[in-house]
Structure 1
Amino acid sequence: MGSSKLYFALLCFQLIIGSTLAGRKLPSLENPKAIRLQAYTGCNGTHPQHAPPVKSFLVSDGTWVDCVPIEGQIAAHHPALKDHVIQMVPPKPARASSPKSIHPQLFAREHGGCPEGSIPVLRDDPMRKVRHPRAYKASTGGGYAAASVTDPATPTKPHEYAITGLPNISHAYSGAYSVFSVNAPTLGDESEMSLSQIWVTDGSYDLPGSLSTVETGWQTQPVLHPNDLPDAPHLFVFWTNDEYNKTGCYNLACPGFVQASNTWVIGGAMPKYTTLAQNAAAEFEVSYEVVYVPSDTNWWLYLDGVGIGYWPSSIYANGYLQGTANQVQWGGEVAIIRDSSVTTHSTTAMGSGAFPKAGYPKAAYQRNISYADATGSFFIPNPTGLDKRRRFNNPLCYDIQVQQGNFTNWGSYFFFGGSGGANPGCTY
């Protein structure tokens, strides 16, 4: 190593050790004070980064979790969040959820959580290197296709959906809720993706660059989590402010989402026991709530009734998602590889891999789906008022069935999913 490189490395090390974020006393949440985001400038000046961790843990799935000072999280690098005061104590959720006796994530089960005043962050999250697969609109059909990570021309990754949602009405909604089954769909290729999620959206594809989203759910995409168990589902958050073009990202891969929880890992794995065979005995569930809180002008995410963090409305610079949205949706999605030379459909599964007609406990579902109107009051939608959509696929690939009243305390719900090309009737 040359003398200049050695000097730079030593200087880098000194900066990290001497950082006020790395060595300061963590704040107590019992007596929270105004803690402002503080952008950490380390040795890598080419990409926003978190402050150095105060503690690190190895999880049994092979991933490392770093406990980063809450004020030094990557959100501090967003221009709209300079000196942003972190909401340390989340508002009470609009929808009450029963507390779980066991945490849904491996990190919290094995290590409890990070020290107060810090947040858990996946180390070297590969999602930093990958754009959202829905990178551009398909040339036909009004749907989505995305380039591969390495080659923007071929092959494409068409998206197929089994979703339901409420009518598109300007300024009509301010939140969404549902209880998810957590499944582990098998994939035809490790670079493909399968998920279950909630969308809260504003703007429109008809007005280029306006579509803005708040998205959350669980996702299986092994290429992005190479150290995890095969097909393990992961918690994810996502946002965009310009139709998936230049703004937004998954999880904490770029400045935007502000995390408050010290036990939930954004992008972290759920246990692998959430498989179809084991779900025959008992389905594993997590409740998701996204709601706008006028008092702090943030879109909050609650998991099992616990405030995890939020999307500040200020990151939506185009004027959308400023307190209301024009659409909410729930359902499943897959992103699959389709080369022009391939005529058979991918065998990537959606949900549990079972079709909706299999019902409980085999088919994946979201239950107790509800939405918040512009005032923040939650309502249960009637299935007759919900759209049923299957984009880019026929029901022999993936399907959805929306129902109400057939299960005690399930409210409005839907089963969704399918086995893709593993079903002989599934063709392009």
Structure 2
Amino acid sequence: MATLDVFESLDVKKGQISAEIWVANFQEGHHENLNIIHVGWNIAPSYYGDKKTHFLVGWTADGYNSTGCFDLNCNGFVPVNYAPITPGDTLDVKRKITIKIFKSKDDGDWWLHFARGGEKLAPVGYWPKSLFNTLDYYADHIQWGGYTTSLPGNPSPPMGNGHWPRENSATFEDLQYINVDETGYPPLPMPGIQSYVSNKECYQVSRFMTNKFKYGGPGGCTN
């Protein structure tokens, strides 16, 4: 679970900018066994056909080899009636959203709850446990953060709001793990939470303190 800032960008061409929560069961060296659920916001003109910020929902049971998809483009994620948002919908920028992903103690399915800033969490839908093989019982890897992509040789787009992790940069806050009784508790700092940056010349992440962290950068990398 986490609350995160939502931003817009005019600097994405054929790449993408995203901020998400990833819940996965990951077996080192066996990408074909990667079971993952991921939810957040995404700017991807080549996928959505515009430069707007969209609510992204994705899943796979084999590292996107033959199973899974984004939003509602395949059978898998099951939306519920009267949901506060639908996968793929556009989001209001400069407004926080809260995402909660948990495994139901009643039916064993993975549920998604969502709220816009100041509103109460409400169910969006669920992923049936039957979709997965390693994630059907538990997750062994959880990640909060941002990522970007670009075509080979093209400068990478900005991440977050394009600022380095400082006072006015993009933030993940109120990070929580979810118990089997579906209540949350804050994760411990290092070594419980570890940071990773793939290219420090273009992006950075702050220290994890008081259940939040800042991240982002101007982009511009070509490797």
TM-score above 0.5, yes or no = yes
The change in CA–CA distance for 1:188 and 1:270 in structure 2 (over 3 A counts) is closer
The change in CA–CA distance for 1:374 and 1:264 in structure 2 (over 3 A counts) is closer
Q: Is 1:399 the equivalent of 2:200?
A: no
Out of 415, 420, 423, which is 2:214 matched to? 415
Q: Structure 1 residue 198: deviation in Å?
A: 0.3
Please name the residue that 2:188 is paired with: 382
Q: Gaps spanning 5+ residues in structure 1: where? A: 1-176, 275-282, 406-411
Q: Is 1:267 the equivalent of 2:88?
A: yes
Please name the residue that 1:216 is paired with: 39
DSSP-derived class of the 1:390 partner: coil
RMSD: 1.8
CA contact (8 A) 2:165 2:206 kept: yes
**Which deviations, in whole Å up to 9, do the C-alpha atoms of 1:52-102 show, x marking residues without a partner?**
xxxxxxxxxxxxxxxxxxxxxxxxxxxxxxxxxxxxxxxxxxxxxxxxxxx
CA contact (8 A) 1:234 1:269 kept: yes
Q: Structure 1 residue 182: deviation in Å?
A: 0.6
Q: Is 1:356 the equivalent of 2:155?
A: no
Please name the residue that 2:174 is paired with: 368
Q: Structure 1 residue 266: deviation in Å?
A: 1.2
CA contact (8 A) 1:187 1:193 kept: no
Q: Quick check: which one's strand share is greater?
A: 2
Q: Gaps spanning 5+ residues in structure 2: where? A: 116-120
Please name the residue that 1:308 is paired with: 124
Out of 20, 25, 28, which is 1:202 matched to? 25
Task: Output the amino acid matched with 1:378.
Answer: G
TM-score by length of 1: 0.48
Q: Structure 1 residue 403: deviation in Å?
A: 3.2
Q: Quick check: which one's helix share is greater?
A: 1
DSSP-derived class of the 2:136 partner: coil
Distance 1:188 1:284 in 2: 20
Distance 1:186 1:414 in 2: 24
What is the aligned-residue identity percentage?
27
CA contact (8 A) 1:210 1:320 kept: yes
DSSP-derived class of the 2:46 partner: helix
Alignment of 1:21-60 (within 5 A): none
Q: Structure 1 residue 375: deviation in Å?
A: 5.8
Please name the residue that 1:236 is paired with: 56
Task: Output the amino acid matched with 1:307.
Answer: P
Higher RCO structure, 1 or 2 (CA under 8 Å, sep 6+): 2
TM-score by length of 2: 0.89
DSSP-derived class of the 1:366 partner: strand
Task: Output the amino acid matched with 1:346.
Answer: P
Alignment of 1:146-165 (within 5 A): none
Count of residues in correspondence between the two structures: 216
The change in CA–CA distance for 1:301 and 1:292 in structure 2 (over 3 A counts) is same
Distance 1:377 1:253 in 2: 31
Q: Is 1:284 the equivalent of 2:95?
A: yes
Please name the residue that 2:109 is paired with: 298
The change in CA–CA distance for 1:212 and 1:205 in structure 2 (over 3 A counts) is same
Out of 42, 57, 66, which is 1:246 matched to? 66
Distance 2:134 2:156 in 1: 37
**Which deviations, in whole Å up to 9, do the C-alpha atoms of 1:284-340 show, x marking residues without a partner?**
101000000021221000001110000010111xx21123111111000111111xx
The change in CA–CA distance for 1:202 and 1:254 in structure 2 (over 3 A counts) is same
Larger Rg computed on CA atoms = 1
